[in-house]
Amino acid sequence: AHGYYNSRWNECIHSSRDFSDMVFIDNYIFNKDVCIQFNSTVGEYVGYTEFGVYNARNWNNDPNLLQQERAQVETFCKHNAELYQAAIAEKT
């Protein structure tokens, strides 16, 4: 009860059937507050706390890390959405 809470949540959001509006969001949460977020629409990390701003600045200076995060729209989001859509279509 007196410890720290740390988590990371990834989200893929879209409303079009062809996934052309797919957005990948990667949240870093500390004590139930988002401290850093990567949003594929923005294309870089944004810090929301002092700790988050410091780390976002460092992570945004790493082109390999940014490239990996930006690729998540295709490799993670769209890939899985296509699998889910195919599974749903088979059942109908």
- Helix ranges (DSSP H) in 42-78: 50-60, 63-72
In a domain, 15, yes or no: yes
pLDDT at 8 over 90: yes
User: Structural domain of residue 55, as residue ranges?
Assistant: 6-90
pLDDT tens track for 17-47:
899 999 999 999 999 899 999 999 999 999 9
Are 81 and 12 in contact by the 8 Å Cβ rule? The answer is yes
In a domain, 20, yes or no: yes
- The CATH number for 76's domain is 3.10.320.10
In a domain, 1, yes or no: no
**Structure confidence at residue 92 (pLDDT):** 64
Q: What is the pTM assigned to this prediction? A: 0.86
- How many domains in the chain? 1
